[in-house]
Amino acid sequence: MSGAVASTVTFREALREGLRAAMAADERVFLMGEDVGRYGGSFGVSRGLLDEFGPQRIRDAPLSESAFVGAGVGAALGGMRPIVEIMTVNFSLLALDQIVNTAASLSHMSGGQFHVPLVIRMTTGAGRQLAAQHSHSLECWYAHVPGLRVLAPATIDDARWMLAGALADPDPVVIFEHGSLYAREGEPPGPGPVDLAHAEVRRAGSDVTLIAYCNGVRIALAAAETLAGEGISAEVLDLRVLRPLDADAILASVERTHRCVVVDEGWRSVGLAAEVSALIMEGAFYDLDAPVARVCSAEVPMPYAKHLEDAALPQPERVVSAVRGLGLGPR
């Protein structure tokens, strides 16, 4: 990262470096959102950037999600490359109109005349005892919408480099940053760039495919480690891009392993895991040796108490248990 040579960096630092590089590379880029400037970002991602780039380009916005997201759409139409930060996906519901009815629709609705090169970053996910209004995983709401590209970084490398690709995209991109990942440390990022189309195998395996994204990748990798101790070889596929889904990579992996568990922090009903399962059913039905299993969040608003929150969320043990349910575990 900038300055000192660190042996490891955090996910947060990688995101910040991505922001800094994007701001430095293109003067049309600016960051706008609640507390991105003086406060340093509600999760500290933009800390220090105000001093470097000034209040024009690191722009604190009042608490008016719909107006500042819509202003991002308008500024993008006016020739800028805005990055809008929304504090959490829960708060983004206040801006859903601007994202769905305007940003995602404008190109098609105008017969291809107008384009919205807007990047929206928002925090998602639970695990920090923030309860029901700061913890939900509503990625699938956005992944449902034609006209958007939806990104879900799980690694330091993607945290560092996905933003550059998103800014190069002429259409609106939503990036989900999982709150539990910000403080995670890892190897410094590679030299980039990264592509914004493909899922990535994070651990190769031959007996079962664990499909995940964001913090789910960490959970799937932990489960794969446990499973390895039981002689089960699990492949971990990081979706990375939630819209459009990389169907080829999903089907290719399942065709190799013949079994699949989808790990999704969203609620189980009508969610991303359901979509991935349907896709596998349609494209790899005859390759399956067992029904696709899903490990999702319990269908309750996220509770505050630690033991209840833990119980509501996908955990490595639940993934391991789901794999055993596919007829692979010790009998």
Which residues form the interface with another protein (CB under 8 A)?
Answer: 28, 30, 56, 61-62, 64, 66-80, 82, 97-98, 101-102, 106-115, 146-147, 170-171
**Shortest separation between residue 163's beta carbon and another protein, angstroms:** 19
**Shortest separation between residue 226's beta carbon and another protein, angstroms:** 41
Nearest-5° Cα angle at 236, 175 to 310: 70
Nearest residue (CB) to another protein, 115 versus 144: 115
Cα pseudo-dihedral 230, 313, 150, 24, rounded to 10 = -90
Nearest residue (CB) to another protein, 7 versus 56: 56
- Catalytic entry in 13, 17, 34, 65: 65
* Runs of H (alpha helix) within 3-147: 11-25, 49-57, 65-77, 89-92, 96, 106-109, 139-143
Nearest residue (CB) to another protein, 77 versus 131: 77
> Are 313 and 265 contacting, i.e. CB atoms less than 8 angstroms apart?
yes
> Are 22 and 14 contacting, i.e. CB atoms less than 8 angstroms apart?
no
> Are 175 and 149 contacting, i.e. CB atoms less than 8 angstroms apart?
no
> Are 133 and 185 contacting, i.e. CB atoms less than 8 angstroms apart?
no
Nearest residue (CB) to another protein, 146 versus 301: 146
- Pairing relationship of beta strands 208-212 and 260-267 according to DSSP bridges: parallel
**Shortest separation between residue 54's beta carbon and another protein, angstroms:** 12
Nearest residue (CB) to another protein, 146 versus 291: 146
**Shortest separation between residue 39's beta carbon and another protein, angstroms:** 17
> Are 213 and 154 contacting, i.e. CB atoms less than 8 angstroms apart?
yes
Structure tokens at 209: 């495919």
- Catalytic entry in 134, 235, 265, 275: 134
**Shortest separation between residue 99's beta carbon and another protein, angstroms:** 11
**Shortest separation between residue 207's beta carbon and another protein, angstroms:** 37
What are 203's strand-pairing partners? 236
Sequence-distant (≥ 6) Cβ neighbours of residue 54 within 8 angstroms: none
Peptide linkage before 303 cis (omega within 30 of 0) = no
* 230 in catalytic set: no
Give the CB-side neighbour count of residue 223, counting CA atoms within 13 A.
33
Nearest residue (CB) to another protein, 145 versus 227: 145
Of 190, 321, 327, the C-alpha closest to 258 is 327
Alpha-carbon gap, residue 232 to 235, rounded angstroms:
10
* 134 in catalytic set: yes
Q: Which residues form the catalytic set?
A: 65, 134
